[in-house]
Amino acid sequence: MKLHTRNTIFRILYILLGSFLYSVSINALFIPHQLLNGGMTGIAMMLQYLFRIPTSISIVVLNIPLFFGSNRFIGKRFTYLSILGILFSSLFLFLTRGWVIDVENSIVAAIFGGLIAGIGSGIVIKNRGSLGGTDIISVIVNKYLSFSIGGVGMAINAIILTVAAFLFNVEMAMLTIVAIFVANKAVDAIQEGFNHRKTVVIVSDKYEEIAEELLKKVKRGITFINGEGAYTGTEKKLIYMVVRITELSRTRDIVRRIDPAAFLSIIDTREVEGKGFHINDIL
């Protein structure tokens, strides 16, 4: 099987999983407590509360115009994977209707519902798809008007929550804010990964010895960068490498043991792709 075909199959399977988790959070936690979610799903849930229109139907209908916009302004690949995400979500919303997770406190339901929804949505987004709605609108607006994706999403959700406060009650809107906040944090965690990376830059006259030991003990790739001291004018070799946070202590100990005077710069790294760091490490 070709690598591209295999990757596509895995992406579809992950989108299937993410859509399932997202749908369970809606049916099992949000709806029993009369809560909302953000974006088009939130509008679909309001239609269910007001007119008994199943969320599984309205979520597809509401996203149809957006798919045309996505196909024209974003790209076919993103659109096709987003359509899969919506269709899977609709299917699972239908299949899991009536599911209830026995939680009495609405705040707990909002927190855990947001967590599960965020994990599901994050898995879909990480695999180059979306669950429609504000994701598509935000990407289009960002592409042509340079507004941030997060800012556009927040503006749309603010409008939805204001309408919900008027139609239902303020408490529902406030609990939905909690759910959306938790969901966004979960999405960020999925995108960045739970096993964070650090970029390490080492300046030392014993760079060869340090690099040899790091390659042997840490087993991470190393790049030498040519540098020059601004004050002394001395040419230097800088060691550049990316390690997992669990490997940072060992890296620091090796450097200090070989050269206690070495200069280390340790930088947070949000995302790494390439040999040794698989794009789907956390899934």
Q: Quick check: 77 and 128 in contact, CB under 8 A?
A: yes
Cβ partners under 8 Å of residue 144, min gap 6 = 73
pLDDT at 194: 57
pLDDT at 35: 92
Q: Could you tell me which CATH class the domain 197-269 is placed in?
A: alpha beta
Short-list 125, 134, 138, CA closest to 18: 125
pLDDT at 131: 83
Token pair 């090796």 in the structure block, residue = 254
Residues lower than pLDDT 70 in the chain: 1-3, 135, 139, 142-143, 146-151, 191-196, 270-283
Q: Quick check: 180 and 114 in contact, CB under 8 A?
A: yes
Cβ partners under 8 Å of residue 63, min gap 6 = 40, 86, 132, 133, 136
pLDDT tens sequence across 140-175: 776 677 666 666 777 888 888 898 888 888 998 899
CB atoms within 10 A of CB 43: 21
Which three-class secondary structure string do you get for the chain? CCHHHHHHHHHHHHHHHHHHHHHHHHHHHHHHHCCCCCHHHHHHHHHHHHHCCCHHHHHHHHHHHHHHHHHHHCCHHHHHHHHHHHHHHHHHHHHCCCCCCCCCCHHHHHHHHHHHHHHHHHHHHHCCCCCCCHHHHHHHHHHHHCCCHHHHHHHHHHHHHHHHHHHCCHHHHHHHHHHHHHHHHHHHHHHHCCCCEEEEEEECCCHHHHHHHHHHHCCCCCEEEEEECCCCCCEEEEEEEEEEHHHHHHHHHHHHHHCCCCEEEEEEECCCCECCECCCCCC
Pairing of strands 197-203, 223-228: unpaired
Q: Quick check: 239 and 202 in contact, CB under 8 A?
A: yes
Q: Where are the domains of the chain?
A: 3-192, 197-269
Q: Which amino acid is at 118?
A: G
pLDDT tens sequence across 180-227: 889 888 887 776 665 568 899 999 999 999 999 999 888 888 999 998
